[in-house]
């Protein structure tokens, strides 16, 4: 069983999805909760269709999250990184589950705020596998959000940006130059997200302090 199938199996749970729709994928996709169309009966009626290439899955019960906004912003991050043709999944879990994955695949028996997995396989019409998957601990995100005095959703977006930058080739652990390069990209994307929110909400975005990402965002 390959890595993506193994850790997805670890995260399987009975937590209901917060989505009102499912992406249609082909048989063989490792991502849970995807709706697979019946080749004879066609698509199941009564489902709203979305082709957004980034899907956010909530696999924890402790916090109520605005999954729709997180998913919209995650797709904006993907656009900013010029990765629109790639499929990604973002899974929000608790400390216990992220610690389990961290121990199995990185040999570190500890919880962390975000893990990212990039894959070399190229999505095709026959097998829509994700190019990358991001795992976020909601409990770690909550603590960090409180420290920064921002909303929980804003900190989760920070971590999505961080994870997608890693998958896209940025590496802050390589050397100081690469760390600064990644930091600049994260700040650039943060500013672009505020513009996207203004366009979506008719210039009536949520409080700037709430959506402050990576510190001060220039006007």
76-119 pLDDT, tens digit each: 888 888 776 677 889 999 999 999 999 998 899 999 999 988 87
**pLDDT per residue rounded down to tens, the chain (219 residues):** 444 444 444 444 333 333 322 232 222 333 333 333 333 333 333 333 345 678 898 999 899 888 888 888 888 888 888 776 677 889 999 999 999 999 998 899 999 999 988 876 554 434 556 678 899 999 999 999 999 888 888 899 999 999 988 888 887 777 888 888 888 888 888 888 876 666 555 544 444 434 444 433 333
34 is in an annotated binding site: no
Residue burial 130-140, b: 16+ Cβ < 10 Å; e: rest: bbbbbbbbbbb
CA dihedral 163, 145, 206, 202 (to 10 degrees): -10
Helix axes 152-167, 67-80, angle to 10 degrees: 30
Q: Are 36 and 61 spatial neighbours (Cβ–Cβ below 8 Å)?
A: no
166 is in an annotated binding site: yes
pTM to 2 decimals?
0.66
Domains of the chain, first to last: 3-200 (3.40.390.30)
18 is in an annotated binding site: no
């Amino acid at each position: 069983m390959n890595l993506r199938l193994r850790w997805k199996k670890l995260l399987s749970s009975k937590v209901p999805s917060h989505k009102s729709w499912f992406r249609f994928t082909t048989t063989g996709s490792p991502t849970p909760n995807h709706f697979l169309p019946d080749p004879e009966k066609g698509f199941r009626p009564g489902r709203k269709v979305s082709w957004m290439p980034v899907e956010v899955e909530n696999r924890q019960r402790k916090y109520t999250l605005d999954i729709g906004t997180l998913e919209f912003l995650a797709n904006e991050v993907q656009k900013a990184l010029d990765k629109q043709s790639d499929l990604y999944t973002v899974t929000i879990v608790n400390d216990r589950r992220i610690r389990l994955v961290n121990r199995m695949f990185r040999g570190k028996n500890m919880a962390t705020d975000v893990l990212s997995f990039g894959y070399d396989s190229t999505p095709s019409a026959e097998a829509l596998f994700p190019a990358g998957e991001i795992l976020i601990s909601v409990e770690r995100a909550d603590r960090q959000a409180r420290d920064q005095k921002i909303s929980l959703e804003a900190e989760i977006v920070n971590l999505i940006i961080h994870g997608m930058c890693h998958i896209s080739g940025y590496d802050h652990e390589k050397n100081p130059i690469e760390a600064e390069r990644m930091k600049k990209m994260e700040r650039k994307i943060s500013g672009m997200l505020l513009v996207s929110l203004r366009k979506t909400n008719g210039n009536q975005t949520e409080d700037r302090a709430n959506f402050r990402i990576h510190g001060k965002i220039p006007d």
